[in-house]
Amino acid sequence: MTRRFSSKVRRWALWALLIVVFAPLALTVIYRFVPPPITPLMVIRLIEGQGLERDWVSWDEISPHLRRAAVAAEDNLFCEHDGFDWSSLESAVKAYAEGRRAGGGSTISMQTAKNLFLWPRRSVFRKALELPLTTSLEVIWPKQRILEVYLNIAEWGPGVYGAEAAARASFGVGAKDLSLRQASQLAAVLPSPLKWRAHPPGDYVAGRAATIRKRVGQLGPLLDCVAG
């Protein structure tokens, strides 16, 4: 009886391991073509009592200004790297080891993987899980798809997810009609969407948006993969 129970436990553990390993990979393949219906963060926020306002829009329905502003704000080397900014990651790991706040090091690809599959609370374990998930995205998806999904699932305020809902909530226009100034203000709040607002912007967001607009003009060919 004990031996039979032990055998069942091993089988359950094996099935659990296979699900944990292969379910995200299968979903990555599916989401290459199908919009993700919901994310863990959306579920968590719903449980916390926030709403869920979101309308998926395709790549062509997202203003090029917002595509470029997001890269300029979050990940200047997005078009060049393989999913990881290794120098920033090394600095973040060193800061964590020294007991300092480990900011930075997270690329748009890593944020997309985290938002799709993981939880928002920071931890070394979650960061370790981001690595294989990010690699899968970079191997299976083109850069445009990564940014398209990122801009459609990003949190932009309490219960507000994705570029379309954010554009309408902040400026009363669709995502495809955002101006450079509006796009830069939306990109400016991405690091802390529950703390900052795009419109009307506070002093910090207005200053950060101005920096993003300037950076968009400086990056040049580094934005080529998001221009089309």
Whichever domain contains 147, its CATH number is 1.10.3810.10
Whether residue 164 is contained in a domain is answered as: yes
Q: Minimum mean pLDDT among 13-27, 38-52, 91-105: which range?
A: 91-105
**Pick from 155, 162, 122, 117: which is nearest to 135 by CA?**
117
- Those residues whose C-beta lies under 8 Å from the C-beta of residue 91, and which sit 6 or more positions away, are 104, 105
4 in any annotated domain = no
User: Is 146 contained in some domain?
Assistant: yes
Domain assignment present for 3: no
Does the pLDDT of residue 144 top 90, yes or no? Answer: yes
Residue 201 lies in a domain: yes
How many structural domains comprise the chain? 1
Query: Which residue range forms the structural domain that includes residue 205?
Result: 33-226
Q: Which helix (H) or strand (E) holds 138?
A: helix 124-140
Asked whether the predicted pLDDT for residue 169 surpasses 70, the reply is yes
Asked if 63 and 183 count as a contact pair (C-beta separation under 8 A), the reply is: yes
* Dist. CA 74–CA 60, nearest whole Å: 21
Given the structure tokens 């609370």, which residue do they identify? 121
pLDDT 10s digits, 59-111? 999 999 999 999 999 999 999 999 988 776 666 666 555 565 555 578 999 99
Does residue 26 sit within a domain?
A: no
User: CA-CA distance, 108 to 2, in Å (whole number)?
Assistant: 49
* Neighbour-count burial of 99, counting CB atoms closer than 10 A to its CB (0-12 exposed, 13-18 middle, 19+ buried): exposed
pTM for this entry: 0.89
